[in-house]
Amino acid sequence: MKEHYQLAVIGAGPAGLAAATMAAEQGIDVAVFDEQAAPGGQIYRAMESIPQHRARKLGDEYQRGRKLVNAFRASGAEYFAETAVWSLNERREIGLLQQGQARMLTADQVVIASGAFERPVPFPGWTLPGVMNAGAGQILFKAHGIVPQNGVVLAGSGPLLLLLAWQYLHAGVSVKALLDVTPMKNHLYALPGLPRALLAGHYITKGMQYKSDLKRAGISTLHNIRMLRARGKDALKSVSFVHNGRKQSLETAVLLVHFGVIPQTQLGRIAGCRHLWDESQLCWRPQLDEWGRTSVNGILVAGDGGGIGGARTAEHAGRLAALQVLYALGVLDRTARQRLARKDRKWMREESHIRPFLEAFFRISEDLLQVEDDDTLVCRCEEVSAGQIRAAVADGHGDSNQVKFITRCGMGPCQGRQCAEAVSHIVAAASGKAVQDIGHYRQRPPVNPLTLGQLAGLQSEEIE
């Protein structure tokens, strides 16, 4: 690993792979830093090592990643696996942690392609052993072929639940039920976006195929679920919920939940990039121009980290960011940049047709986001409940950072990843303000855990 690169790409999902491949093929010095052991990101995880029979069970969309990974491997970009980025500043100084050793390097241009993560939505019992995110279940299946042996209940909202149920069906897993918490009123709100969504008809066709296969297999989907509860003392025993006015319960040792995805914004925040509240996606995202440039010179964001668009859109955004990098470095002139961007811009527009429909249809209800049950833990690290957060607001602490200071909510090992969004919604509801006025936790490095010994080793290296 060198001390300086022309381009540093953070993350090796669709956006990062596309950006690094295009830039390296034009002869510039590219380094890709990835926390995983192999390229592919979450969507194409284990692409190079997965057995073919398991890849087929995951579907065509997963197998699209093979061509992307192969092109990246042939591009000449340097790939650093199992390397965490814990710091980034406006001077494009990057803090890395690799094999337990911390180090710093610099880059002329940085593309953050760290993707998205599942929206954490606390509900009663969500901390019980046996309750996991649907994405975690999918990762276990992709990377290791591990699936629930004694059946599973899926709950929440979003396309991933449907996809995972379909994948489990083909893997022989007993899916006891799919509990959809999407409010029925969303169907009405999404209707204006349907005509435009039909222009990206392959998404709708694929979704209808999944639903048809699940129904034919006898897997029940219960809609408009309310009062979702995970129950058990030391581990999950059952899931209770209200459906059509009736309280029901299902015995299960595994509950996989999903409430949509939101951008990973930690690195952009510590670098000082301006962020905006996205009301349609109910999340914060970096302010970007058409090339993915942030408010900080030389730092770009590509893919779902800049706003949720899906794997195909992320791939196009990665190439557009690479074209901007090549222009900034003087490899391309303005005319060539515009010419080479035409196809990706066209494909991105086509992919984006589905987004307004999906965002309206799968919009999470305010009841869930505000965590109405006072006893529900919101911050798992520091064991802070929704009631304690509301009590802090009642005492006059009216924004997320004040609540963090008073309750320690967000000061644990995850640095607020699992509670920041929920705290914002709870504080907003309790104070009668808009979520965007409540603000987000102030982000500081390190964004990944770092020991004092690792920091001391970094200092010793600089002195030498």
Q: Give the residue from 233, 259, 285 where a domain finishes.
A: 259
pLDDT score at 464: 46
Do 90 and 139 reside in the same domain of the chain?
A: no
Asked if the structure places residue 353 within a domain, the reply is no
pLDDT score at 339: 97
The total number of structural domains that make up the chain: 3
Do 125 and 245 reside in the same domain of the chain?
A: yes
CA dist., res. 410 & res. 237, Å (int): 29
Asked if the structure places residue 65 within a domain, the reply is yes
- Token duo for residue 79: 């790939």
Do 148 and 206 reside in the same domain of the chain?
A: yes
CA dist., res. 311 & res. 331, Å (int): 27
CA dist., res. 381 & res. 423, Å (int): 14
pLDDT score at 301: 98
Q: Which of 68, 111, 110, 27 is nearest to 332 (CA)?
A: 27
Do 280 and 246 reside in the same domain of the chain?
A: no
Do 127 and 73 reside in the same domain of the chain?
A: no
Do 200 and 137 reside in the same domain of the chain?
A: yes
Asked if the structure places residue 362 within a domain, the reply is no
Tens of each residue's pLDDT in the chain, 464 residues: 999 999 999 999 999 999 999 999 999 999 999 999 999 999 999 899 988 888 888 888 888 899 999 999 999 999 999 999 999 999 999 999 999 999 999 999 999 999 999 999 999 999 999 999 999 999 999 989 999 999 999 999 999 999 999 999 999 999 999 999 999 999 999 999 999 998 887 888 888 999 999 999 999 899 999 999 999 999 999 999 999 999 999 999 999 999 999 999 999 999 999 999 999 999 999 999 999 999 999 999 999 999 999 999 999 999 999 999 999 999 999 999 999 999 999 999 999 999 999 999 999 998 899 999 999 999 999 999 999 999 999 999 988 999 999 999 988 888 888 899 999 999 999 999 999 888 888 888 999 888 989 988 886 555 44
Q: Which whole-number Å values give the CA distances from 412 to 22, 384, 409, 455, in the listed order?
A: 39, 11, 8, 19
The domain in which residue 106 lies consists of 4-117+262-332
Do 62 and 105 reside in the same domain of the chain?
A: yes
Asked if the structure places residue 16 within a domain, the reply is yes
Do 15 and 99 reside in the same domain of the chain?
A: yes
Do 287 and 222 reside in the same domain of the chain?
A: no
Asked if the structure places residue 404 within a domain, the reply is yes
User: Could you tell me the maximum CA-CA distance found in the chain, to the nearest angstrom?
Assistant: 70
What CATH number is attached to the domain comprising 311? 3.50.50.60
Do 125 and 253 reside in the same domain of the chain?
A: yes
Do 226 and 178 reside in the same domain of the chain?
A: yes
Asked if the structure places residue 288 within a domain, the reply is yes
CA dist., res. 212 & res. 60, Å (int): 17
- Token duo for residue 389: 């957060």
